[in-house]
Amino acid sequence: NAGVTQTPKFQVLKTGQSMTLQCAQDMNHEYMSWYRQDPGMGLRLIHYSVGAGITDQGEVPNGYNVSRSTTEDFPLRLLSAAPSQTSVYFCASSHGGLGELFFGEGSRLTVL
């Protein structure tokens, strides 16, 4: 099993551009989530999904959209990138209820 796979690993955007961070898991996990990690801030939850077709907002959802059309995939869309969205983004998944989270290796995004 590959676990949780995130692409791309690195991305540079200009202010106002849009892009999608991809996340896929092959563990048949119902729960998936997106976090951002900023220096000294720990991880903050952006959006999460408890199953295909169901998404909900986390702590810092503004500027981001998600969808969950399949169990495996949970893409994160930046609609109009801003420098404040420069961060490292992590996708994570969990089986059943909110137990152990399995994390991807992260996507480092820089917005100029």
Partner 1 sequence: SQQGEEDPQALSIQEGENATMNCSYKTSINNLQWYRQNSGRGLVHLILIRSNEREKHSGRLRVTLDTSKKSSSLLITASRAADTASYFCATDNNAGNMLTFGGGTRLMVKP
Where on the chain is the footprint of partner 1 (CB under 8 A)? 4, 31, 33, 35, 40-45, 48, 50, 56, 58-59, 90, 92, 97-106
Nearer to partner 1 among residue 19 and residue 45 (C-beta): 45
Q: At closest approach, how far in Å is the CB of 16 from partner 1?
A: 28
Alpha carbons 9 and 5: distance in angstroms, whole number: 10
Shortest Å, Cβ 106 to partner 1: 6
Q: Torsions phi, psi of 97, nearest 5?
A: -70, 180
With respect to partner 1, which residue has the nearer C-beta, 41 or 112?
41
Separation CA 46–CA 9 (nearest Å): 18
Looking at beta carbons only, is 9 or 15 nearer to partner 1? 9
Residue 11: strand pairing partners: 109
d(CA 1, CA 73): 15
